[in-house]
Amino acid sequence: MPFQTPSSTDRALFRAPVWQRLNPSDLMAKINGNTIKPGMVLEHNKGLWVVTKASHVKPGKGGAFANVEAKNLETGNKLNERFRSEDKVERVTLEQKDFSFLYEQGDALVFMDDENYEQTELQKDWVGEDRVAYLQDGMKVVIEMHEGRPIGLSLPDQVTLTVAETEPTVKGQTASSSYKPALADNGVRIMIPPYMGPGERIIVDTATGEYVRRAE
């Protein structure tokens, strides 16, 4: 297959060796509107949308339909639309590639392709400040691609952090007591059990930023 040279806009976002362009027909399939589910990526109104919610309705009269909420993967805009069972929608299959995080370089983050060891840079503002904080040396991530462009980045569900600062432990407090604020070693503020102190290693959910349990 031929290789596609990224546009100047793509190069600013994704500085890496050019990717092999996939045939769009291999990435899309038409599905009925009432089969849409959360997590699917759709091409709709000349944009790519990830479905966040989909409620299916079967009225007493008329055909079934789905009320769909989705988010544009490029602009962040939100969509609320009703799709009838007879509506045809393009479902997009994204290429998923495994990468390892290497290091920060100015406003960029450097990752290594686990398959061919080539290095790639993604801009911090594209990844998002809340997720950048959870990146650790050697961390395995998944970058989703569409026609050679990065569309999304997935972190591990959980990470291990160390409590850097928190309020002193009060004698007699138990796990059932109200949680207290703490600062983790990656700069993220989190609520932890009241009996914990600085130096404790904890498991944190990367999607919610919530304390899960003490690390072993």
CATH topology assigned to domain 95-154: OB fold (Dihydrolipoamide Acetyltransferase, E2P) (2.40.50)
CATH architecture assignment, domain 21-92: Roll (2.30)
Cβ contact 186:170 at 8 Å: no
Q: How far is Cα 84 from Cα 88, in angstroms, rounded to an integer? A: 9
Rg (CA), the chain: 22
CATH architecture assignment, domain 158-214: Beta Barrel (2.40)
pLDDT in tens, the chain (216 residues): 333 434 444 444 444 333 333 444 444 578 888 888 887 888 888 888 888 888 888 887 777 888 898 888 878 788 898 888 888 888 888 888 999 999 999 999 999 999 999 998 998 888 888 889 999 999 999 988 877 778 778 899 999 999 999 988 666 665 556 899 999 999 999 999 998 999 999 999 998 899 999 998
Domain definitions of the chain by residue range: 21-92, 95-154, 158-214
Q: DSSP assignment of 32-71, as one string?
A: EGGG--TT-EEEETTEEEEEEEEEEE--SSS--EEEEEEE
Q: What is the value of pTM for the model shown?
A: 0.65
21-92 matches 95-154 in fold: no
